[in-house]
């Protein structure tokens, strides 16, 4: 029984849930000027978790055949048979319906619509349309991962305002810079599965230049927040320090590719995680620092 429960949890892609927590909670605290409604925050997180979990389950159902060809994903429950494809699909639909009903009833129509849009974008735009057709798949498909920012903000303020748009763009530009180094690391997996991730279709130097471009866009967007909202030195410091670290790792990847040295792309991948996590932590702390 415990094995089955763990398999269903794996279907939800818990790491996507981590991104939900990292972005949604700080944004809600910031939008509420440090005084969020805890009950409303819990409702948003539950609805968001159901939606993100549904997206992950649909993704694993739709990609179960290609997952079997990739070393990184060969242990997923629909590949190993711990959960049947039919059970996995039913589970995905149950979570999807539950997320929509819960968000409408407990949070409101706008956050519910934005949350549902994120689910549809991930399953339809990214998984079904873009992933196997273009090496730019994570650029546009990554919009789904930006939606929790808008959901959290709209749940507090009742609409979408410039600070939410800026933070949305931070996550939008961060996603390719975060994921493309990982695609370099697992390029052979993607080639076997026929998935045209940029790291599998282009040489490392080409990928590194694009990682640099998106990393710079991420950092510059993070520095736009003080122009549309009041922030303290806590946010400024976090944005500058983590941004510098992220940019250094991206430029280092490019330098290594030109020198023919060991690429170590996961260093950029990890630096991107630190950058986003610390930046949004600063967003959540900022109202108290002010």
**pLDDT band at 2; cut points 50, 70, 90:** confident
Q: What is the average per-residue pLDDT within 154-178? A: 97
In the chain, DSSP finds a helix count (H) and a strand count (E) of 16, 0
Measured from the Cβ of residue 5, the count of other Cβ atoms closer than 10 Å reads 9
On the question of pLDDT at 66 being above 80, the answer is yes
Burial group, residue 107, by CB count within 10 angstroms (0-12, 13-18, 19+) = buried
Q: What is the average per-residue pLDDT within 124-144? A: 92
Query: Cβ(56)–Cβ(16) under 8 Å?
Result: yes
HSE value, Cβ hemisphere, 13 Å, CA-based, for 286: 29
Per-residue confidence (pLDDT) for residue 17, from 0 to 100: 76
| Closest by Cα among 51, 195, 200, 45 to 123 | 51
pTM of the model: 0.94
Q: What is the largest CA-CA distance in the chain?
A: 57
Per-residue confidence (pLDDT) for residue 262, from 0 to 100: 85
- Per-residue pLDDT of 187-211, as tens digits, reads 998 998 899 999 999 999 999 999 9
Query: Could you identify the residue written with the tokens 């159902």?
Result: 61
- Per-residue pLDDT of 70-100, as tens digits, reads 888 889 999 999 999 999 999 999 999 999 9
Per-residue confidence (pLDDT) for residue 19, from 0 to 100: 80
Instruction: Specify the 3-state DSSP secondary structure of 69.
Output: coil
């Amino acid at each position: 029984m415990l094995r089955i429960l763990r398999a269903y949890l794996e279907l939800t892609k818990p790491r996507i849930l981590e991104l939900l927590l990292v972005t949604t909670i700080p944004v809600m605290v910031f939008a509420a000027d440090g005084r969020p409604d805890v009950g409303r925050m819990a409702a948003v997180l539950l609805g968001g978790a159901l939606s993100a979990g549904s997206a992950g389950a649909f993704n694993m159902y739709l990609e179960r055949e290609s997952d079997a060809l990739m070393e990184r994903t060969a242990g997923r429950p629909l590949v190993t048979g711990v959960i049947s494809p039919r059970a996995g699909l039913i589970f995905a639909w149950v979570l999807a319906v539950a997320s929509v009903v819960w968000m409408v009833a407990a949070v409101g129509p706008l956050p519910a619509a934005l949350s549902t849009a994120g689910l549809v974008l991930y399953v339809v735009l990214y998984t079904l349309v873009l992933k196997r057709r273009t090496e730019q798949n994570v650029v546009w498909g990554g919009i789904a991962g930006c939606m929790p920012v808008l959901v959290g903000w709209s749940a507090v303020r009742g609409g979408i305002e410039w600070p939410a748009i800026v933070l949305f763009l931070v996550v939008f530009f961060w996603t390719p810079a975060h994921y493309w180094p990982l695609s370099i690391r697992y390029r052979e997996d993607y080639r076997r599965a026929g998935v045209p991730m940029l790291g599998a279709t282009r040489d490392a130097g080409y990928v590194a230049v694009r990682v640099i471009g998106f990393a710079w866009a991420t950092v510059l967007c993070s520095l736009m927040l003080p122009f549309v909202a009041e922030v303290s030195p806590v946010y400024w410091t976090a944005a500058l320090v983590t941004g510098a670290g992220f940019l250094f790792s991206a430029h280092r990847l490019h330098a290594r590719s030109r020198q023919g040295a060991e690429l170590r792309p996961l260093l950029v991948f990890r630096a991107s995680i630190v950058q986003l996590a610390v930046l949004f932590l600063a967003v959540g702390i900022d109202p108290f620092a002010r």
